[in-house]
Structure 1
Amino acid sequence: MIRVLLADDEAMVRAGVGAILAADDGIEVVAEAADGHEAVEQVRLSRPDVALLDIRMPRLDGLAAAAETRRVRPETAVVMLTTFGEEEYIERALGEGASGFLLKSGDPRELIAGVRAVAEGAAYLSPKVARWAIAQLSGGQRLSRSADARQRIATLTGREREVLALVGAGLSNADIARTLHVVEGTVKAYVSTILNRLEVRNRVQAAIAAYEAGLVSAETS
C-alpha cells in the first residue's frame, strides 16, 4: 500500500484529489494538510511514502515544504501538484528535490501514475512539463551543458553509467533490477552513488544529466 500525504489549502481540492487516489486500491491517503508547516509536521508524524504538495499554500509554500520534507524524511518522495505551469515553478520544484510535477488540469490518470512512479523510485513529470523540460535541454546552452554532463558522467563506472541510462529512460528501481538481473537493494546503492558523484539532488536531475550527456534520447527520457 502506498501511503500518501495530501497538502492543499483548498478543502475542495483535497476532497477531489483524495477521491481520485481512493479509486486505486493500492493507494491510501494517510494524512492531509492545509498549509506547508502542517504538511511537514504530518510528514514527521505519518511517515508517508509520497507527499503530494500544492505549490501555493499559506505560512510555508509547497516549494519550501518540499525542501523541508527532503531534509526531515528523505525517504518520502515529493510530488508537486499545481495549477501553475510557469517555468520558474518547475525549475524551483526540481531544484528542491521533487521527484514529480503534476498539473491539476491534467488527466486524473496522470495523478495515479505519478504517485505510483515516485513511490517505486522513479521520477514523473506530466506531459506538458516534460515537453518544457526537453525544450529547455534543446536550447542555446545545450553544448556547454552537454560538455559538463559528459565530464561528470566520465567519473562513473561502466555499470553506474548503465544504471544512469535506465534512470534516464524513466525506469523504477524494481524495473532496473529486473533488467540487469540484480536485487533491488543493489540498484538503490548504485543510484545513491550516482547522485552523489554527479552532485545532483534527485532522479529527475540525474535523468537530465543522462540526456545532456547523450546516454538517452529525448524520446526515451
Structure 2
Amino acid sequence: MSDVTLGRRAAAEAVGTGFLVAAVIGSGIAASRLSPDDTGLQLLENSLVTGAVLVALVLALRPVSAAFNPVITLVDRAFGHVDTATAATLVAAQVAGGVVGAVVANLMFDLPAVTLSATDRSAPHLWLAEVVATLGLVLVVVGCLRGGHASSVAFAVGGYITAAYWFTSSTSFANPAVTVARMLSDTFAGIAPSSVPAFFLAQVVGGALGVALVRYLFPAATRRPDVHLTQELR
C-alpha cells in the first residue's frame, strides 16, 4: 500500500472515527427513546450497534487506515511502525472526526449540536475497568495481526467491544478520541468533562500494559517492520 499518502490515511481515520462516534451516540439516543424503561435493553442495543459498525468500518477502511483510536495509533508508534509526526497527524484526525461525529449524531436526533454531558463517571472501579478494556483491545488487535489473522481483526475487534460493554463497569470506552466526543452529547452515551482526564489516564495505562504484554507474548513478531496495526499487511 505504498501509494497511501498520509493525507488519505488521516482522512480515513477522521471518517472512520466520525462514523464510529455517530453510531455510539446515535444508537444510545435511539435506545433511550425506544426502550425508555429498560436500561439493560438500552445497553444491549447500544453495544450491538457499536460492535457491528466497528466490523463494517474496519473492513472498509483498513486498506487505507483503520485504527479509529489514539491508543492503537500510539501502540503502532511504540512498535516503530509509524513515526511521531505521522502518529500525531492520525491522532488529530481521529479526535476531529470524533467531534464531528458527535455533532452529527446530536443533530440527526433533533438535539442541539453540542450539549456537554452531565453523566459523572468518576470512580476507581470505572478507571480500573478502562485499564482492563484498553489492555484487552490492544491484545486482541495485535494478537490477531501477529498470529497471521489479519482478515479476522475486524470481527475480533467488533466482538470484543460488544462484549466489553458488558463485562466492564465503564462500558468500555477504551478510546481517547471517542471519550472526547462523548463528552459533547448529554445523552445515554455521554461522559461529563470532569470525568474525562481520569479516563484518558486509565486508557493510556491500559495501552502501555498492552504493549508490555504483547512484547512478552510475541517477542519476534513485534520487531517485524512489515506488520502495521492500522493498515493491511504489506
- Pair in the same fold by TM > 0.5: no
Structure with the larger RCO, 1 or 2 (CA within 8 Å, 6+ apart) = 2
Larger helix proportion, structure 1 or 2? 2
Larger strand proportion, structure 1 or 2? 1
TM-score (norm: length of structure 1) = 0.28
TM-score (norm: length of structure 2) = 0.27
